[in-house]
Amino acid sequence: MLKALRGMKDTLPPQNEKYLYFLEKCTEIVERYGFEFIETPILEDTKLFKRSVGESSDIVGKEMYQFIDKGENDVCLRPEGTAGVVRSFVENKFDRIGGINRFYYHGPMFRYERPQKGRFRQFHQFGVESFGVSNYLEDVNIILMAKTILDIFKINYTLHLNSLGCTTCMPPFRKKLTSYLNGVDGLCEDCLRRKDKNPIRVFDCKNSNCQELLKPAPRLNDNFCKVCEDDFEQILKLLKTMDIDYEVDPNLVRGLDYYSKTAFEFVSSDLGAQNAVAGGGRYDRLVELLDGRETPAIGFAIGVERVLEMIEVPKRERNGYYFGALCDEAIGSVFKEAQKQREKDRVIMAYSVKSLKNHLKAADKMGASYCAIIGEDELKNSVLWIKDLINKNEETREIE
């Protein structure tokens, strides 16, 4: 038997009703914030992800579905959504037009990982990207949107927040940190690799020995430039006045290289090990990195499967009609009446002749509200017999 590939799943009813409901709600909310739908290809040039997400990241380093297509192009199934949106933004010259552009998207992402609770090789993200606003108010706005969505679905979470610094304060800090790390012995293999490629990621290391070694290291938050420090303070202040709880987590670094300044994650304790339900941050340098004009930008993505895991399946209500015939002669009339009824309602017709009892049984089983029948008597009188399956009333309706 052929099976779906490892870590890939079909979305089937009734579970997929949750999926559709989730998308509907997300769309409704982000459109209220002025975001517009964008869709970009699932397959992109491998270079796009190498240059944006970064070769030092695990995503690009070891988790991409990368292959050479029939035209000898080096291509990748997208492992995340931001890179494609930024590519499209630049390609369509939004950076030259200027102004503010806000987009939302949703769709499948691919990462070649070992499957686990809340982690699949094909998974879905709902994300937003905002271009052209450097004001910290947009950071809060974006966080607020993510929070609103999670709140609608009554999800338990804590908001983790950090700032990663900008082009002014980051390079000198990076140098400082690297020289500190060069003087330390006993870092784990991963950290040694990070040290050269993207040193701030060492703060993200889960190895307790590394964490111990990092205690006296220079901290990000002590080395912000004036702008970063002020903006971060303003954000925290505004979050407080908006009554949004948060935890500043100086070790929150995020695994994608393009982030700068504000970075955040919504973490839920109801999820198991893969506890990040949404994450995002500012990436003011990415547009430029992908050959566009310098444009400030910020976004987030929600892990759809992870949210769905925490939502109850909506109960299916009885609705629509069941049509059936009691004798062969009635089948034509039943077919015709069923088709008529479909102008207004969901209708399912039984193709085989059955006893009234069995028709009622079948109507009940498929969750219809009404059972409509034509037999010999009805044919004689040119009527359709209809029983309301909920309050048990019966009536007849004239037919041609």
Partner RNA sequence: GUGAGAUUAGCUCAGUUGGUUAGAGCACUGGUUUGUGGUGCCGGGGGUCGCGGGUUCGAAUCCCGUAUCUCACCCCA
- Other CB atoms within 10 A of residue 399 CB: 16
- Contacting range for RNA; rule: CB under 7 A; set: 20-28, 290-298, 335-343, 354-362: 354-362
Q: How many residues bind RNA (CB under 7 A)?
A: 68
Of 3, 154, 215, 226, which one interacts with RNA (CB under 7 A)? 3
- Report the half-sphere exposure of 170 (CA within 13 A, side-chain side): 19
Q: Is 277 in the site for RNA (CB under 7 A)?
A: yes
Q: Is 214 in the site for RNA (CB under 7 A)?
A: no
Q: Which two tokens stand for residue 33?
A: 């914030």
**Closest of 328, 321, 322 to residue 376, by C-alpha:** 328
Binding-site string for RNA from residue 98 to residue 137, where x marks contact by CB under 7 A and - marks none: -------------x-xxxxxxxx--x-x------------
Of 204, 229, 249, 288, which one interacts with RNA (CB under 7 A)? 204
Q: Which two tokens stand for residue 262?
A: 């504000």
Give the contacts of 193 (CB within 8 A, at least 6 positions apart): 56
Q: Is 205 in the site for RNA (CB under 7 A)?
A: yes
| Nearest approach, Cβ of residue 279 and RNA (Å) | 3
Q: Which two tokens stand for residue 253?
A: 């670094």
**Closest of 84, 38, 53, 21 to residue 304, by C-alpha:** 21
Cβ burial, residue 131 (10 Å; 0-12/13-18/19+): buried
| Nearest approach, Cβ of residue 296 and RNA (Å) | 19
Q: Is 193 in the site for RNA (CB under 7 A)?
A: no
C-alpha Rg value of the chain to the nearest Å: 28
Q: Is 29 in the site for RNA (CB under 7 A)?
A: no
Q: Is 6 in the site for RNA (CB under 7 A)?
A: yes
Q: Is 210 in the site for RNA (CB under 7 A)?
A: no
Residue 261 · residue 235 · CB < 8 Å: no
Q: Is 252 in the site for RNA (CB under 7 A)?
A: no
Q: Is 358 in the site for RNA (CB under 7 A)?
A: yes
User: Helix (H, G, I), strand (E, B), or coil: what is residue 384?
Assistant: strand
Q: Is 279 in the site for RNA (CB under 7 A)?
A: yes
Q: Is 57 in the site for RNA (CB under 7 A)?
A: yes
Q: Is 357 in the site for RNA (CB under 7 A)?
A: yes
Residue 221 · residue 251 · CB < 8 Å: no
| Nearest approach, Cβ of residue 20 and RNA (Å) | 18
Rounded to whole angstroms, the Cα distance separating 198 from 365 reads 60
User: Helix (H, G, I), strand (E, B), or coil: what is residue 100?
Assistant: coil
Q: Which two tokens stand for residue 246?
A: 């948060």
* Residue placing its CB nearer to RNA in the complex, 181 or 363: 363
Rounded to whole angstroms, the Cα distance separating 338 from 213 reads 74
**Closest of 107, 108, 45 to residue 73, by C-alpha:** 45
Q: Is 354 in the site for RNA (CB under 7 A)?
A: yes
* Residue placing its CB nearer to RNA in the complex, 132 or 303: 303
* Residue placing its CB nearer to RNA in the complex, 237 or 361: 361
What is the bridge-based pairing of β-strands 347-349 and 321-325? parallel
Q: Is 355 in the site for RNA (CB under 7 A)?
A: yes
Rounded to whole angstroms, the Cα distance separating 79 from 110 reads 5
Q: Is 315 in the site for RNA (CB under 7 A)?
A: no
* Residue placing its CB nearer to RNA in the complex, 114 or 154: 114
Rounded to whole angstroms, the Cα distance separating 138 from 63 reads 31
- Contacting range for RNA; rule: CB under 7 A; set: 11-19, 135-143, 252-260, 333-341: 252-260
Amino acid at 310: M
Q: Which two tokens stand for residue 167?
A: 């082009």
| Nearest approach, Cβ of residue 97 and RNA (Å) | 28
Q: Is 274 in the site for RNA (CB under 7 A)?
A: yes
List of residues contacting RNA (CB under 7 A) = 3, 5-8, 57-59, 63, 80, 111, 113-120, 123, 125, 190, 204-207, 254-256, 265-266, 272-279, 301-303, 305-306, 326, 352, 354-358, 360-365, 373, 375-378, 385, 387, 389-390, 392, 394
